[in-house]
Amino acid sequence: MTAGTTDTTVTEEQDPVLTEVVDGVLVVTINRPGARNAINTVTAEAIGAAMDRLDSDPTLVSGIITGAGSTFCAGMDLKAFLAGEKPSIPGRGFAGIVEGPPSKPLIAAVEGYALAGGFEIALACDMIVAADDVKFGLPEVKRGLVAAGGGLMRLPQRVPYHLAMEWALTGAMITAQQAHEVFLVNRLTPRGGALAGALELGRAIAANGPLAVRATKQVIVEAPEWSRDEMFDRQRDITVPVRGSEDAREGATAFKEKRAPRWQGR
């Protein structure tokens, strides 16, 4: 990447996760291409730290997670697992993300393969941009295992029930085209173009009011758990503070003055 502010680049052995800020978007890259970006303990900790940064930094509005090299993520690092490592952290779970995704929008930029835990990382994101030759899958049943990183819970929320059952019970490879046809993937790109496509989407989100973006995600994520009687009251709890914010006034003023808004995040 050429735009934005980049953290100091180091070797894979020194830092398995790299971060870069591009126009209000935090790009998080799993940097273990020699291990197909599989997740070990230090990688999970680094991803979790990046998610904490995304949540806490008021200058960041959205995030992207991607993989270095030709693949997104092959899931858990089996060698590390056999050595006694745990590829998860308290509070955020596997890969530092599946049990505690960030409160701000997160996009998966997928190249190559997103299998097992790698697919579960993508499913923990709010949007997916994928190269048109990508393969997704939860192949755990083929090895007598169960996908326990949120995939079995999230997949039926993303695609029709019977399709989720078929994919999970057969452990089938899912093409990017299949995933796009059922709206699991937001956008398809040519090979090598997933990150650029995700940045286009991330920038479009980051151009909007940061308080409004965060609240909008919160309502969409939490609303399915609200009862009919409480849903508008619960929504008001989230949206009324945004409506009374300085950013809301700035948005209306900018519209009136026919200029781009200058968000302050307050």
- In a 10 Å sphere around its CB, with 0-12 CB exposed, 13-18 middle and 19+ buried, how is residue 11 labelled? exposed
In the set 120, 166, 200, 250, the catalytic residue is 120
- Nearest in space to 74 (alpha carbons), one of 119, 24, 40: 119
In the residue annotation, 99 being an active-site residue is answered as: no
DSSP assignment, residue 125? S
Q: Amino acid identity of 73?
A: C
Q: How far is CA 135 from CA 38, 127, 139, 199, 209, in A?
A: 16, 16, 12, 21, 35
Neighbour tally for 35: CB within 10 Å: 19
In the set 12, 140, 222, 250, the catalytic residue is 140
* E-assigned strand segments in 120-201: 127-131, 135-137, 174-175, 187-189
Query: What is the rounded CA–CA span in Å between residue 39 and residue 77?
Result: 5
In the residue annotation, 222 being an active-site residue is answered as: no
Write out the catalytic residue numbers: 120, 140
